[in-house]
Every structure is written in C-alpha cells, then in structure tokens.
Amino acid sequence: MDEADRRLLRRCRVRLVGELQVASLWDALLNRELFTPDMIEDIQHAGSGSRRDQARQLVTDLETRGKQALPLFISCLEDTGQDTLASFLRTSRQAVSRDPEALVSVVLAPTGSKTEEPRVTKRDLWQPAQGKLTPMVLGPEELTPAQRRPEFLRPELPRPVDTGGFRDVRAQERLRGNTDLAYVMDADPCGYCLIVNNVNFCPASRLSLRTGSHVDCEKLQHRFRQLHFSVEVKCDLSAKQMVQALTELAQRDHRALDCCVVVILSHGCQASHLQFPGAIYGTDGRSVSVERIVNIFNGTHCPGLGGKPKLFFIQACGGEQRDHGFEVTLSSPEDRGSSSDPEPDAAPFQEGARSSDQLDAMSSLPTPSDILVSYSTFPGFVSWRDVKSGSWYIETLDGVLEQWAHSEDLQSLLLRVANAVAERGVYNKQIPGCFNFLRKKLFFKT
C-alpha cells in the first residue's frame, strides 16, 4: 500500500472500527483475493473475537496487502452494501490524489447518520452542514512561516486572514502527515496515560510522606486529558502492585492507538543499570528499577505498541546527592529561588535495600526503540518538591506543555523544562534530563 493510502486509512480507522460490518465481508475479501483463508481466520480470532476487535485487526492488516488494497477494499464494501463507508473512502482518496501536497482532515459523522460525500476545498474552515461537519484540505499557503515546522520552511507568503486557533491545528496536521519525520498521532484518544502517585509510605520503609504530590497528579491528569489521552490514576501502590498495574497496561489492546504514557510520582534511589538508571520505591519500601518498568513495554510483552512512542516521566530522586550549584550572574530577580523550603524525593540510605535494587536493575532489556524516559533530576541527585505547589519538575513540565505543546516537538519541550528547572533555587539546584530512543519527532495532539 502506498503511503498516501496508508495515511488515509489510519486517519479513518476510528470510524471504520466503529461502523464496519465485518461478518458480511469475509466472502468478498476472499473472492477479490485480498486475504487468504488463513488470514481471515486470524482476523476472526483477533482479541476477544468481537466485531470491533475483528474490524480493528482487518484495518491494521489491510496496510500489508499491496498497492491495490484500498481500492479493492472499497469495492468489497460496495459488494456488501456498505455504500456509505465506500463513498466516504473513495471520495477522500480522490481528493488526496488531486492534490498530493494537501492533507485531508477527516471529521466523522455520528454512527448511523447519513453521511454526505466530502466537499474538499482549500480555503474553507470546518463548515457546519445540516448538523454535520465537512472536511477541508490544508495547503502550504495556509501556513505562515511562524507556524511551519523547521523541516518545512518555505518562501514567505502573504499572511492569511486570522483564523484563530485553527492555525496551530493546521501546522500540526501538516507535519503529522509526513511519517518519515514525525510519529502519527491521529487516534482519539491518542493512547493510555497511567499516573502512579505514591504519597503515603509504610513506617517500616523509613520513607517520608510526599506532601504536595497530589498537586502534581491533578496537573498532569488534566494536562494529558487536554492532549487527548485516556488518563487513569493509581495511588499508593506497593512495588508488586506497581509492576502489576504496568503489566496490565502493557497487555491492553493498543493497536488502534498511537502512543502510551506512564507517569510515576514517588521516592526514588540509585540502582545499578545497563541502560536506564534509577529505581522507584513502592509504598512498602521495596524498589522497582526503571529498566524493569521500561522492559514491561518492550516488543515481546507489548506488541500492540511496536513502532509507537512509549513515554515515561519519572518524578523521583535519582540518589542522595544534593546539588548546591555554582556561582553565575543572575539574569532576573525570579532566579533567586522560591519562597518556601522544598523537600527532596530521596530515600534515606538503606544498606539492606541496595542488593535487591541491583538485581532488579540488571535484568536484560532488548535494544530500545521508540522509548523516551524523562527524569526529574540527574542520576544520583535529589529531586525537589514544594509542599504547596508540587515538584519543580512537574510544575514546569505542565506549564511548558500548556504554552508550547501546540507548536513544538517533545524534545524541544523537554529542553525548555530542563532550562527552566535549572534556573530555580539558590542553595538547592536540580536539572532534569532524558534518555531518548525515539526515532522520529513527536508532536502531541492539541
């Protein structure tokens, strides 16, 4: 299947999964030799075997069936009386073929409603049409230089009429269409986001109450919902419960989704490692290495996320060292620090816990790809948290996402976070960092 058809199919998959009547399609797919009997049987047994699971697998496998797969599939839809979907796909495909530089944005009419054939224009914004929305094609002339990605800078053109928030959507949609440079982030929801918020620790752990962590949790819960993720929060988990929650997340069906996010708010410590440093404490005082956490989502354990970005945000100490910084000329009064005394998310030294940390951290990890682990602090150092406003890292991350996620990729956003956190405080310093194994740029859906 050529790239234009693949992009169109992915953009339409939510509607296809919702409306496709697969039971009537099997004979048509076989007659047109689009799938073999064995392939059809595999699709029928996908997931729970429900209509939605079968439809989702069918759309996924269709991408592998050659250059004529999409037109043959449209013919199968017409053969089985699914004319609305057939017309929808055929008209959208024709619109793209007429203007290869354009990107078709598809708005889905409610299931069961009568769908008009898309009316494609270059200048129209989304226009209500008898209770439905008609799509448009975004050409390069709609984008002012300020909104274009660096990879797509073109000679400056006359500034178009102000269309408000549509400009940012257009800029994102333009780069998202080039799958060689950016991950596809079209699904809605974009993916699952699990937030583990450990606040209360058992007395035997000798770990302190993480006052203010609820502020971090609420901020990120709201922020990732704004970024079109399905957010779930789990509080006060032991080490075993953290592994169970992460394993359950990895075992979910991610095939129709584009991304997965894990946020962990807890105490942390140093641990021996091969690739990803650090370990996270459960409320029972036992630790789970970051490597083990990431390994749960590798290609073997989570094939549905193969080739898709897996993002981990860790708010925890990387050790017990305190960074007091070095003298530089302050650029503004705000750089002189916060008014309240922050707390570290460090663990007290526990000789007995070190050996188990090392065993966890030394577990093998396949060659990582499509993984980014963002740490709140440099390995070996403490991470600061204000009891009223939350941690420096999460507070800054939330603010940067709010202000810049519509126009910058994830790596640029994290550079902003690192710079802003590094400039905080006077006697206590901190700098976030990341281990980045992403293959492409990642722009959140805003």
Distance CA 16, CA 59 (A): 8
Of 156, 149, 162, residue with least CA distance to 103: 149
Q: List the structure tokens of 244.
A: 């169970």
Q: Is the dihedral of CA 432, 224, 303, 252 positive or negative?
A: positive
Distance CA 295, CA 316 (A): 19
Domain at 3-106: CATH code: 1.10.533.10
Distance CA 436, CA 415 (A): 12
Stretches where the chain sits below pLDDT 50 are 102-167, 318-339, 347-367
Show me where the domains of the chain are located: 3-106, 191-436
Asked if the domains at 3-106 and 191-436 fall in one CATH topology, the answer is no
> Would you report the helix, strand and coil content of the chain in percent, each value rounded to 5?
35, 15, 50
Distance CA 327, CA 237 (A): 40
Encode pLDDT of 176-190 as tens digits.
556 678 999 999 999
Tracing tokens 């250059």 back to the chain, one arrives at 67
CB atoms within 10 A of CB 264: 22
| DSSP class of 141 | G
Establish whether the linkage from the previous residue to 189 is cis, with ω within 30° of 0: yes
Active site residue 267: yes
Q: List the structure tokens of 108.
A: 């889905």
Distance CA 309, CA 437 (A): 9
Distance CA 386, CA 298 (A): 34
Domain at 191-436: CATH code: 3.40.50.1460
Are 432 and 384 spatial neighbours (Cβ–Cβ below 8 Å)? no
DSSP 55-75: HHHHHHHHTTS-TTHHHHHHH
**Which residues make beta-bridge pairs with 87?**
none
**pLDDT reported for residue 358:** 25
Tracing tokens 């075992």 back to the chain, one arrives at 251
Distance CA 47, CA 60 (A): 13
Q: Is 31 exposed, middle or buried (CB count within 10 Å of its CB: 0-12, 13-18, 19+)? A: exposed
**Alpha carbon of 189 to those of 14, 54, 228, 444: distances in Å?**
10, 19, 5, 12
Which of 193, 259, 260, 267 is catalytic? The answer is: 267
| DSSP class of 411 | H
CB atoms within 10 A of CB 181: 14
Encode pLDDT of 365-398 as tens digits.
344 689 999 998 876 667 777 888 888 899 999 9
**Which residues make beta-bridge pairs with 262?**
194, 312
**pLDDT reported for residue 228:** 96
Are 187 and 362 spatial neighbours (Cβ–Cβ below 8 Å)? no
Q: List the structure tokens of 336.
A: 């002189």
Tracing tokens 């989702």 back to the chain, one arrives at 56
Which of 76, 217, 317, 434 is catalytic? The answer is: 317
b/e string for 342-367 if b means 16 or more Cβ within 10 A? bbbbbbeebeebeebbeebbeeebee
**Residue 233, phi then psi, degrees to nearest 5:** -115, 135
Helical residues (DSSP H) of 48-165, grouped into ranges:
51-62, 69-79, 83-98
CA 207 to chain centre: 31
**Alpha carbon of 241 to those of 250, 272, 282: distances in Å?**
14, 22, 8
